[in-house]
Amino acid sequence: MEKICLFPGTFDPITLGHVDVIKRSVSLFDKLIIAIGINSQKTPMFSIEQRIAWINEIFKDYPQISATSYSGLTINYCKEIGAQYMMRGIRYIADFEYEKAIADMNRMLAPEVETIFLTCAPEYTTISSTIVRDVIRNGGDVSRIVPPEVRV
């Protein structure tokens, strides 16, 4: 059976922290789907199309990685695409507490989907898409916190 993993997020924009987690996890699965969640309550800085294009460019040499978007409950999307695993990146303890609560709910809704937590490398713990967007909005240099493909 093919091991399919969903890595959901907003990736607005994708950061070096995301890239680190993705590259270190890709060998664990036959297929890794990076899925951009559409949240009607949030107004993203970058379009879904732009974010998918960045992801496809960054991981063009990884045939087992694909990018897509979805709406609704992430766990339902896992079931829809046949993903047995969902991966979540963790930076700090607070991330774990938040993600654990979601993983517990997902387990109740779909016990066949296992959530996997992967911590990012220490040099990326302070990077978040929120901080990156703030730096971009204020004309700062993001070259050390996003992949070259994302330079805006």
Does the model's pTM come out above 0.85? yes
Q: Please give the CATH topology (third level) of the domain spanning 4-145.
A: Rossmann fold (3.40.50)
- Which is catalytic among the residues 42, 47, 60, 71? 42
Buried b / exposed e along 41-74 (16+ C-beta atoms within 10 A): eeebbbebeebbebbeebbeeeebbebeebeeeb
pLDDT values of the chain reduced to their tens digit, one per residue, 152 residues: 899 999 999 999 999 999 999 999 999 999 999 999 998 788 899 999 999 999 999 999 999 999 999 999 999 999 999 999 999 999 888 889 999 999 999 999 999 999 999 998 999 988 989 999 999 999 999 999 999 999 76
Tokens 């460019």 map to which residue?
57
The secondary structure element, H or E, covering residue 28 is none
- Which is catalytic among the residues 24, 31, 79, 91? 91
Domain boundaries, the chain: 4-145
Whole-number Cα distances in Å, 146 to 4, 112, 130, 133, 143: 26, 34, 12, 11, 6
